Amino acid sequence: MSRNPASSPRRASSPAQGSAGAGVLKKIATAIGAVLVALVIAAIALFWFIGDHTDFGRERVVWKTQACGGGLVIVAGLLIACAFAYLGVWRAKRDVDIEKDNQRSFGIVVLCVTALFVGFQSISRGLPAFRDLTEGTTTVTVTSCSFEQMPRSNPGTGADRTPNNGWDNTFTMTLADGTKRATVIITDDADDIASRGGLTGVLYEACASRSGSASMAMEVYPHTWSIVDARID
């Protein structure tokens, strides 16, 4: 015997269930978005780190430019997110939803502060690198230089200078026009710097072995002070 369809009870999803499901999806989407932003910012920071720890040449300038270009893309994404968050605040105020209003207002502040920080870092680091790539290298004369070696500070605290953190090897060069420029090379051991060849070897020979009395001709990217070539006169 067949059952009458009209007599069969139908289950309808309640508005509360639909609202709860939408809320869960929003939270998941927000979490995924936050993770993606964090990963991209971490990637940009890695590019900055590699650029800062590439000692010489065009590669150093290119790393910095790529990192800063990526940073500006992040800023654009954050500003778009700010716009959507502002729309959410406007809707919350319209619906007199104080809790959502407070949450989204706080989100706007976080997004805008992050955008300002990343934008400032990207422009301040990227503009000199971009100018170097477009204008190219120049030749300068170093009339004298000095060499200083110090244990590195702890990256986490900014203090605790011990040999376990590595060594900062600073070459301070005085140019023909009287300006001073510095190049810092990081080594794990204090004795590593003396055994290096290439550009590091030239700098060490002029500034340390010859006590800074030797003059040098150098090809550099001037805005980021990235040395491409150096020779002792």
The pTM is what? 0.63
Instruction: Say what the pLDDT of residue 72 is.
Output: 82
Pairwise CA distance, residues 139 & 192, whole Å: 28
Burial 31-64 (b: 16+ CB within 10 A, else e): eeeeeebeebbeebeebbeebeebbbbeebbbbb
| Strand 138-151, strand 216-221: pairing | antiparallel
Pairwise CA distance, residues 56 & 183, whole Å: 9
Pairwise CA distance, residues 94 & 224, whole Å: 51
> Hey, which residues does 171 pair with through a beta bridge?
147, 183
Pairwise CA distance, residues 53 & 43, whole Å: 15
Residue 147 contacts by C-beta under 8 Å, 6 or more apart in sequence? 169, 170, 171, 172, 203, 204, 207, 208, 212
Residues of the chain under the 70 pLDDT cut = 1-37, 39-41, 43-54, 88-105, 154-164
Instruction: Say what the pLDDT of residue 115 is.
Output: 82
- First-residue to last-residue Cα distance in the chain: 108
Pairwise CA distance, residues 228 & 14, whole Å: 70
Instruction: Say what the pLDDT of residue 54 is.
Output: 67
Indicate the helix (H) or strand (E) that contains 79.
helix 57-94
**Class of CATH domain 138-232:** mainly beta
Domain boundaries, the chain: 18-135, 138-232
Instruction: Say what the pLDDT of residue 18 is.
Output: 47
